[in-house]
Structure 1
Amino acid sequence: MLVVVVRTLILYVVVIIALRLMGKREIGQLQPFELVVILMISELAAVPSENVGVPLLSGIIPILVLLAASLTFAYASLKSEKARDIICGRPSILIDRGKILEKELRKNCYNISDLLEELRLNNIPNIADVEFAILENNGQISVFPKSNKRPAIPEDFNISPPYEGLPLPIIMDGKLKTDYLKQREKDLNWLKSELKKYDIDRIEDVLLASLDSSGNLYVQPKTRR
């Protein structure tokens, strides 16, 4: 039993390292060749972990080969547009200037129901409001509504809103992030003074405190037990 546990942990670490080297992407954002590699890696790792009679290297070596192949394809697609088209394919325009392209739907095995569902997921219930819809290589659809149907933005009204930076978590789960505090040009005395406005005397009692670029502090205290 101990042998099985050790072999499984070794394969687990190898698979985690392989996936990390492939990059950080969600499953829905994977290119086809990346998805194939992940499926094959999972199968190759399962066999040695289930069967002690199979040498551990019989699982590790194929995984490393697949990782090398994946990184090679990724590098080739990065450096060559032609290789990228061959390996990853090209996006397909399903709706062009408000008109559904039936040929592209058939080519991609996409039916009208699938198209309407994707539009609803993009918060567009009426297909008549769509100017362009593009099926990306990862299977997701990018939707561009008609100009008179898109949401209004401040630029439409000649408004220039103030800059909004990224809020920084000053305190997370009772632990102070001093680097973020200094980045906002604040000190510990200022923070304690602000926390007292929320009847909080200790940093350890704060679940989350974030500070935006305008100096506004958001504080969520821990639930008292």
Structure 2
Amino acid sequence: MEGILPLIWKTLLLYIVIIVSMRLMGKRQIGQLQPFEFAVAVMISELAALPLTEDDRKLHHALIPIAVLVTCQLLISYISIKGVRIRGYICGKPTVVIRNGRMLEKTMRKEMCTINELLEQLRFHSVQNVSDVEYAILETNGQLSVILKSQKRPVTPEDLKIETKYEGCTIDLIIDGILMEETMKKMNIDKNWLDQQLKERGISDYRMVFYAAVDTSGNLYVQKKGEYLE
């Protein structure tokens, strides 16, 4: 029992340190990380495991290197924001791998991108034929951006000269029985109006609501808890 409590304390502390470190690095998904950011994330996770797996390692053996890595990452991010040329050296540059429906063999070899990998990425974008692509660009984070030829793009209301109404974001009002009071204040949504709308639907308590939201037209969407379980 004596050895378990310090281990739990170390684990919780390192968990908090990692969460804070990741938050400082910015809101990025794994697939959106630049190479140097991914390297920092992997090193932080490895360093955090040392005091937990090796008895001779003290807590500061992980905390100090993690602090140094986060500082370096923030410094590099700051420098890359300030200078376009420096950003190119640190993050690299986007590379065109398909132009006018033709795969660029030399560029693909340079980027070590195989035909199978490229076709797989195209399928993720619902593209079946390489000939339909005007440009495919391999971004610095490894993601593929696809620009279809104008004849192959989906038709938009603008193409048909159809006027459309403005559509803003749907505003979350209740999530899993919890009222989003701060959101309602920011968006100037009257709580009494919401209560009346819920009352008309036979709902007397926010805890009965699984999800509720309102769109820019004032239409309220409500789903009760237990209404759809499958």
In structure 2, what is the Cα distance between the partners aligned to 1:185 and 1:71?
37
Counterpart of 1:16 in structure 2 is: 19
Amino acid at match of 1:12: Y
| Distance across 1 between alignment mates of 2:30 and 2:163 | 37
C-alpha distance in 2 between matches for 1:9 and 1:177: 29
Matched-pair contact (CA < 8 Å) for 1:11–1:49: no
From 53, 57, 75, give the equivalent of 2:78: 75
Q: 1:183 offset after TM fit, Å?
A: 5.5
Amino acid at match of 1:77: S
Amino acid at match of 1:70: Q
Contact preservation (8 Å) 1:92, 1:134: yes
Match of 1:113 in 2: 116
- Asked if structure 1 preserves the Cα contact closer than 8 Å seen for 2:168 and 2:215, the reply is yes
1:152 aligns with 2:155: yes
Structure 2: distance between partners of 1:80 and 1:72: 13
Letter in 2 for 1:108: E
Q: 1:37-186 alignment to 2 at 5 Å?
A: 37-181=40-184, 186=189
Structure 1, unaligned runs of 5 or more: none
Structure 2 stretches lacking a partner, 5+ long: none
The 2-side partners of 1:189 and 1:13 are apart by 39
Alpha carbons 2:102, 2:130 under 8 Å: kept: no
State the aligned residue count: 225
Deviations 1:52-72 (Å, cap 9, x if unpaired)?
321211111111111111111
Q: Could you tell me the TM-score, scaled by structure 1's length?
A: 0.93
Q: Which residue of 1 aligns with 2:36?
A: 33
Q: 1:92 & 1:34 partners in 2: Cα distance?
A: 20
Rate the CA distance shift 1:178–1:56 in 2: closer, same or farther, 3 A: closer
How much does 1:186 deviate? Answer: 4.8
> Which amino acid in 1 is paired with 2:111?
N
Q: CA RMSD in A?
A: 1.9
Label 1:201 to 1:18 Cα distance change in 2 as closer, same or farther (>3 A).
Answer: closer
| 1:121-174 Cα shifts (integer Å, max 9, x gaps) | 111011111110000001000000100000111110111210111111222222
* In 2, Cα distance between equivalents of 1:49 and 1:58: 11
Determine helix, strand or coil for the equivalent of 1:110: coil
Measure how far apart 1:182 and its partner are.
5.2
**DSSP-derived class of the 1:209 partner:** strand
Separation in 2 of the partners of 1:81 and 1:19? 24
What is the letter of the counterpart of residue 123 of structure 1? S
- Over the matched positions of the two proteins, sequence identity in percent amounts to 47
2:98–2:104 CA contact under 8 A, matched in 1? yes
Q: What's the TM-score, normalizing by structure 2?
A: 0.91
Secondary structure, in 3 states, of the residue corresponding to 1:142? strand
